[in-house]
Amino acid sequence: MKVLVLTLGVTLLPLAAAAVEPDAGRFQLEKSGDHFVRLDRQTGAMSICQNKDGALVCRMAADERAAYEDELDRLAKRVTALEQGGVIQRALPSDAEVDRSISIMERMMKSFMGMVKEFQAEENTNPLPQKT
């Protein structure tokens, strides 16, 4: 029994370590003076990191932070507009627009049916020769 537990422990230990460790190749650190610049290779985001009390503390670069705040403001305004129903009210056509669309479809169908009747009448008066 102990051998089975040890075998499972040895087998599963590397898998557990790989699951806990984030993608090691995702970030790249470069020393720049008294701080580090961290590049996220997946998103392209850059952060400025400093060593404080033995821990690496990272924060977004100033220009990225401003762009981030602008995007948040834009999305907040969009959510507010959607919640107020401005887009939803304009999504449905008015009764006049529906009536106009139906009248256009009726004219189109009458014209099409007229062409079909003309072809049928033409076929009855001038039958095609038999080619068998």
Q: What is the pLDDT of residues 10-51, one digit of tens each?
A: 555 555 554 445 567 888 888 888 888 888 888 777 788 888
Residue at 13: amino acid letter? L
The rounded distance, in Å, linking the Cα atoms of 74 and 109 is 46
Tokens of 80: 């507010």
Tokens of 53: 């009390």
Min mean pLDDT across 73-77, 88-92, 96-100 is at: 88-92
Q: What is the pLDDT of residues 39-82, one digit of tens each?
A: 888 877 778 888 888 888 888 777 777 788 889 999 999 998 88
pLDDT for 5 equals 47
